[in-house]
């Protein structure tokens, strides 16, 4: 594609003319922002070198570096992004129109062929992106500006599914022969990823050829700061402008005006290994569940900044409570008689090791002998997924992928789920999940989701303890940073950073 190069003199003349007609404040704010780079302190380092077919995709989404065909609004309703619209052709097929005049960060154009190739690569990835657990898709072009996405079975939420950051569209240069995907200069967002510095940091610059509104910031400097105290210190000392997940224990040390509490569809859950070890015995699972004092966890560890859980889905999904029956009271059925268990969790979320300490006390009182194993998430995930723990504490986003909890439930609790820490395989649960997945959006689907939740909880494989309210730190001068319960957005085109003293 040819590019037109303009002399700087006409550009300067245009800016002077614009200054004559705009209010002085508008020009001042643009000038203050134009050269500003936003400094981020991120919660977790990448797990796979920012491979967007993994959970690292959510970092690329939060940086506005990568885009999907569809985005979700605050209600979870699909909206156009790289696709300008879609229609359902038949029970298994959807047609998505592709936006014109979009460039990838390497200057190549967005085409239907490139969209089809990118989505097909995701379906063939090993392991699959979590959003595709139990899902088979075939993608083909339909002319030059549309693609057909065909599922093996009827999928009423397929547009929602295509909103997952793990199904973002990338330039051909991103895809290597080894199956890995390198997102450097390969996305379509308003910021272009320029550098990946391992598990230390990443650098992004504004992409001036972006198809939509031009970003106000010049770029983003993202540092990975797993230690919660260090993240809070970065906000307090002014070395970071936006900070993910301020620990509850640090909140009192910060200016309350810099902290923004976000109700999250995130549940702190105790997963019990149903396949091997003591918790293969359903009786011991019931004893463990009855031992958990949720109110004590909320009061002591979270200092009241959380909600005690009555199910897997919390107050961020208000329809869930209205459709949930009162849970049956758990009879403790005696003591555990000294059953020895290994309780695992990770340090990346500062509260979880504290939760583990309190749970050890509660489970010990119920007759268990508890040994803790606490590490960084990157060093413990493989063991957790392999079922090497008897119990595991996880802070889990319940609608992270599609804006719908079915994908989370399938991933965590179905026989073939790729994130099945509880090692659960129950035909009744799988059938309830199949019914929920097939239900159309709306009331019918919500009722089916709650039936699936009830089936999961009846197995004792998961003990939901509390729903978090994550706190986001923003320095003075930060404007229009996203406070997104789904953790998909953070820096937007409208985000600005005023200079000190303005």
Pairing mode, strands 93-98 and 83-90: antiparallel
Q: Given this model, what pLDDT does residue 382 score?
A: 95
Answer whether residue 19 shows pLDDT above 60.
Answer: no
Distance CA 292, CA 408 (A): 23
pLDDT grade, residue 12 (50/70/90)?
Answer: very low
Contact 133/418 with Cβ under 8 angstroms?
yes
Q: Average pLDDT, stretch 316-320? A: 87
Answer whether residue 20 shows pLDDT above 50.
Answer: no
List of residues 6+ apart from 217 with CB closer than 8 A: 33, 36, 37, 38, 191, 206, 491, 495, 496, 497
Answer whether residue 18 shows pLDDT above 70.
Answer: no
Nearest CA to 271 among 422, 454, 455? 422
DSSP-assigned letter for residue 481: -
Per residue in 59-70, pLDDT (tens digit) is 999 999 999 999
Distance CA 175, CA 181 (A): 5
Q: Given this model, what pLDDT does residue 422 score?
A: 98
Structural domains in the chain, sorted by start: 1-34 (no CATH), 37-228+475-497 (3.40.190.10), 263-469 (3.10.105.10)
Contact 2/186 with Cβ under 8 angstroms?
no
Looking at every residue in the chain, the average pLDDT score rounds to 89
Reported pTM: 0.72
Answer whether residue 500 shows pLDDT above 80.
Answer: no
pLDDT grade, residue 1 (50/70/90)?
Answer: very low
Nearest CA to 490 among 64, 46, 160? 64
Q: Given this model, what pLDDT does residue 332 score?
A: 58
pLDDT grade, residue 17 (50/70/90)?
Answer: very low
Contact 135/155 with Cβ under 8 angstroms?
yes
Per residue in 381-421, pLDDT (tens digit) is 999 999 999 999 999 989 867 778 998 999 999 999 989 99
Answer whether residue 325 shows pLDDT above 50.
Answer: yes
Query: What's CA 94's distance to the chain center, in Å?
Result: 25
pLDDT grade, residue 292 (50/70/90)?
Answer: very high
Beta partners for 80?
Answer: 70
Token pair 């009192």: residue: 252
Q: Given this model, what pLDDT does residue 27 score?
A: 34
User: Which segments of 214-339 are extended strands (E)?
Assistant: 219-224, 242-243, 259-272, 306-308
Contact 212/80 with Cβ under 8 angstroms?
no
Q: Average pLDDT, stretch 277-285? A: 96
pLDDT grade, residue 329 (50/70/90)?
Answer: low
């Amino acid at each position: 594609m040819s590019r037109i190069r303009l002399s700087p003199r006409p550009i300067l003349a245009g800016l002077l003319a614009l200054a004559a007609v705009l209010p002085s404040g508008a020009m001042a704010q643009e000038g203050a922002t134009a050269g500003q780079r936003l400094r981020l302190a991120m919660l977790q380092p990448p797990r796979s070198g920012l491979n967007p077919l993994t959970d690292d995709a959510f970092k690329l989404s939060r940086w506005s570096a990568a885009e999907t065909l569809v985005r979700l609004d605050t209600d979870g309703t699909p909206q156009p992004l790289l696709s300008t619209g879609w229609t359902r052709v038949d029970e298994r097929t959807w047609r998505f129109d592709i936006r014109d005049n979009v460039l990838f960060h390497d200057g190549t154009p967005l085409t239907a062929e490139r969209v089809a190739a990118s989505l097909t690569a995701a379906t063939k990835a090993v392991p699959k992106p979590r959003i595709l657990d139990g899902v088979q898709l075939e993608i083909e072009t339909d002319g030059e500006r549309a693609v057909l996405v065909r599922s093996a079975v009827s999928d009423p939420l397929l547009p929602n599914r295509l909103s997952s950051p793990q199904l973002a569209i990338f330039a051909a240069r991103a895809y290597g022969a080894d199956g890995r995907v390198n997102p450097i200069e390969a996305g379509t967002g308003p910021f272009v990823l320029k550098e990946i510095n391992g598990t230390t940091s990443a650098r992004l610059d504004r992409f001036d050829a972006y198809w939509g509104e031009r970003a106000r910031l010049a770029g983003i400097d993202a540092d990975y700061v797993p230690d919660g105290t260090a993240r809070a210190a970065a906000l307090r000392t002014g070395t970071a402008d936006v900070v993910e997940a301020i620990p509850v224990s640090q909140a009192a040390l910060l200016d309350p005006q810099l902290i923004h509490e976000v109700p999250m569809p995130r549940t702190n859950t105790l997963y019990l290994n149903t396949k091997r070890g003591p918790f293969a015995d359903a009786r011991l699972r019931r004893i463990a569940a009855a031992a958990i004092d949720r109110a004590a966890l909320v009061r002591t560890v979270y200092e009241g900044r959380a909600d005690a859980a009555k199910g897997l889905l919390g107050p961020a999904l208000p329809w869930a409570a209205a459709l949930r029956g009162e849970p049956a009271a758990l009879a403790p059925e005696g003591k555990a008689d000294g059953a020895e268990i290994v309780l695992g969790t990770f340090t990346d979320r500062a509260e979880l090791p504290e939760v583990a300490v309190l749970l050890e006390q509660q489970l010990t009182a119920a007759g268990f002998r508890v040994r803790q194993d606490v590490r960084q998430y990157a060093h413990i995930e493989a063991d957790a997924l392999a079922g090497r723990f008897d119990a595991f504490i996880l802070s889990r986003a319940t609608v992270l992928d599609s804006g719908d909890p079915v994908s989370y439930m399938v991933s965590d609790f179905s026989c073939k789920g790729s994130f099945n820490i509880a090692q659960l395989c129950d035909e009744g649960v799988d059938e309830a999940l199949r019914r929920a997945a097939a239900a159309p959006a709306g009331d019918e689907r919500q009722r089916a989701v709650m039936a699936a939740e009830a089936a999961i909880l009846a197995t004792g494989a998961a003990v939901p303890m509390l729903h978090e309210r994550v706190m986001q730190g923003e320095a003075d001068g930060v404007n229009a940073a996203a406070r997104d319960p789904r953790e998909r957005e953070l820096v937007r085109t409208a985000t600005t950073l005023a200079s000190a003293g303005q």
